[in-house]
Amino acid sequence: MLTLPSRRSILTGLALVPALSVTPHGVWARPEGEGAALPDASASVPSLSRAARSGGRYFGAAARADHLRQDKALRAAVLRDCEVLTPEIHLKWNSLEWRKGQFNFSPVDDLLTFSDENGLRVRGHTLLWDQSTPDWAKREMLSQRDWRLMSEHFSRVLGRYGSRIEEWDVINEPIDTEAGARNLRRNTFFRAFGPTYIERAMEEARAHAPNAHLVINDYGFEYGNPVDKARRQAFVALARRLRAADVPLDGVGVQAHLDLSKGPLDTAGLQDMTKALIDLGLDITVTELDVKETDAAHTTAARDQKVADETRRYLDVMLAFPEVRGVVTWGLTDKFSWLTEQVDSHVRAARGVNRGLPYDDAYSPKPMYWTLADSLGASA
């Protein structure tokens, strides 16, 4: 995800997130009165996962275990529409080990239980992201420059989940063409270990999960401004460098946080970047698709149509490539969207929620939903 202060504040309390309720028989406990049922009309809504499978792809969404625990309508939507779940926060380092040596695996374990019971798969997001690295680990890296800390983290996480999770975002958001060095973000890992921390991390992941699909995930490739153009070029250059060095990189994740304030998509630039990555032997996953609105003054119908149109324009480019193996939205419903959570409460009261996901906050499918169904199905 993009680096925003609101996301840091969300991450601050990760160690306190409760585990999902699971009965001794492995069936989730569902307290009376929690959440709302999906609208009756939803029975006629096509399954996004079925549409994706018809084209040889998968569809999934990011989810939090506590939200799934609390909201049965969300669970119903996930079970109907998703083949894959991305843990929105639970696999990040400061969720697993907020304080050194104090581990919190329960939310991930329970999300995997839920997925196993319902025939879903889980993406591993993410082993390394500077924004979700606990402060104690940052201090130790920068003071000791000792790779053993990284190795122990990889060993602990992949030793526990490497055989159950097939696809991993090993490194999240390494690119920075504005304030970076060699177009790499000057994150804690870069400052502690230099630019080759990327190679070392990929090798470390392969050593602990020899059969996993290893991915580097990043954002900011969609538009025609100079920053996005530079980021596309830097991402391809990084992938080319890693492939030339025989680093174990199997694919890339493009986050696809679309933004209606940034003007038209650079479809030619997107096509060129995607083709260049594929030519390197990599496959691609759209990992965090959503749409940020720019103007809430229009009618709801007009807003929803703009979001759907932007989604369609993007997917028309990306799904033209068979090597795009899956599409994951960063949530399913506007009820649980980081794009709403980042807005101050008084502004949110005036604007309402950001309407950038397939379902509205009452779980009614919006035009974006039908666009996803059509685009995924049309790629068959």
pLDDT tens, the chain, 380 aa long: 433 333 333 333 333 334 443 332 233 433 333 334 444 445 567 899 999 999 999 999 999 999 999 999 999 999 999 999 999 999 999 999 999 999 999 999 999 999 999 999 999 999 999 999 999 999 999 999 999 999 999 999 999 999 999 999 999 999 999 999 999 999 999 999 999 999 999 999 999 999 999 999 999 999 999 999 999 999 999 999 999 999 999 999 999 999 999 999 999 999 999 999 999 999 999 999 999 999 888 899 999 999 999 999 999 999 999 999 999 999 999 999 999 865 544 444 445 789 999 999 999 999 999 999 999 998 55
What is the structure's pLDDT at 340? 80
CATH number of the domain encompassing residue 206: 3.20.20.80
Backbone angles phi, psi at 360, to 5 degrees: -75, -175
Who contacts 373 (Cβ-Cβ below 8 Å, separation ≥6)?
A: 46, 48, 51
Are β-strands 121-128 and 167-172 bridged in parallel, bridged antiparallel, or unpaired? parallel
Q: How many domains are contained in the chain?
A: 1
Both tokens assigned to 92: 């990040």
Phi-psi region for residue 354, left (φ > 0), alpha (ψ -120 to 50) or beta?
beta
Query: Which domain, by its residues, includes 100?
Result: 5-378
Who contacts 355 (Cβ-Cβ below 8 Å, separation ≥6)?
A: 293, 300, 303, 304, 307, 334, 366
CA–CA dist 74, 60 (Å, integer)? 13
CB 304 within 8 A of CB 367: yes
CB 241 within 8 A of CB 277: no
The alpha carbon dihedral of 130, 136, 141, 143 has a sign of positive
Taking Cα atoms as reference points, which of 114, 101, 104 lies closest to residue 22? 114
CB 335 within 8 A of CB 341: no
CB 357 within 8 A of CB 88: no
CA–CA dist 129, 132 (Å, integer)? 5
Which one-letter amino acid corresponds to residue 380?
A
